Amino acid sequence: MRARREFRDRPEVEVAVLDALVDRAEEGMTVFEVRAAVDADIDGIEEALAALKRDGLISVQNGDDDRVVILVDEKVVPDPEEERHDERGFVEALREKFGL
For each of the domains in the chain, give its residue range(s) and CATH number, in order of start.
Answer: 5-98 (1.10.10.10)
> How far is the CA of 75 from the CAs of 4, 39, 68, in angstroms?
8, 24, 21
pLDDT tens string 14-73: 999 999 999 999 999 999 999 999 999 999 999 999 999 999 999 999 877 788 999 999
The pTM assigned to this predicted structure is 0.78
Beta-carbon contacts of residue 74 (< 8 Å; ≥ 6 apart): 25
Say yes or no to pLDDT of 85 above 60. Answer: no
